[in-house]
């Protein structure tokens, strides 16, 4: 593989190891801004997914009185519906972006 890349900033050829973090030897700008952007977007998406997975669901305690269980079940139902919708949109966005 060719190990050099033309700098998008100054137009000089620089050594390139196909790493998104590689910088121009002449002006120190990023050699592959698209790869850097993509890498950042991927990391942000991963962080969002981590947050999504850490949503705490309402715990229904067997000792709770009947009406508390009833309201908790409704709350849990909304939570599950909400997470499902968010998951669906995240999937859709990932599908459209990919
Ligand atoms: Zn440069």
What would the pLDDT profile of 71-92 be if each residue is shown by its tens digit? 989 988 998 899 899 999 999 9
Q: Identify whether the C-beta of residue 25 lies closer than 8 Å to the C-beta of residue 11.
A: no
Check residue 2 and give its pLDDT.
62
Distance 19 CA to ligand 1 centre (A): 16
Name the 3-class secondary structure at 91: helix
Q: 5, 34, 6: which is closest to 20 by C-alpha?
A: 34
Check residue 37 and give its pLDDT.
86
Scanning the structure block, which residue is given the tokens 């801004």? Answer: 33
Check residue 92 and give its pLDDT.
92
Token duo for residue 80:
């599950």
What is the number of helices (H) and of strands (E) in the chain? 2, 2
Token duo for residue 19:
């790493």
Write out the residues surrounding ion ligand 1, Cβ under 5 A: 7, 9-10, 24, 26-27
Q: Identify whether the C-beta of residue 1 lies closer than 8 Å to the C-beta of residue 16.
A: no
Q: 90, 78, 95: which is closest to 53 by C-alpha?
A: 90
Distance 29 CA to ligand 1 centre (A): 6
Categorize the per-residue pLDDT at 16 as very low, low, confident or very high, splitting at 50, 70 and 90: confident
Higher local confidence (pLDDT), 31 or 52: 31
Domain ranges of the chain: 1-54, 56-98
Instruction: Compute the average pLDDT of residues 5-25.
Output: 89
Distance 97 CA to ligand 1 centre (A): 29
């Amino acid at each position: 593989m060719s190990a050099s890349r033309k700098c998008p900033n100054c137009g000089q050829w620089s050594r390139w190891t196909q790493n998104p973090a590689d910088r121009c030897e002449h002006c120190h700008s990023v050699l592959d801004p698209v790869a850097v952007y993509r890498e950042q977007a991927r990391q942000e998406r991963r962080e969002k997914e981590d947050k999504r997975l850490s949503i705490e669901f309402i715990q229904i305690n067997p000792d709770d009185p009947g009406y508390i269980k009833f309201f908790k079940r409704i709350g849990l139902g909304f939570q599950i519906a909400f997470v499902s919708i968010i998951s669906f949109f995240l999937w859709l966005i990932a599908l459209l972006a990919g």
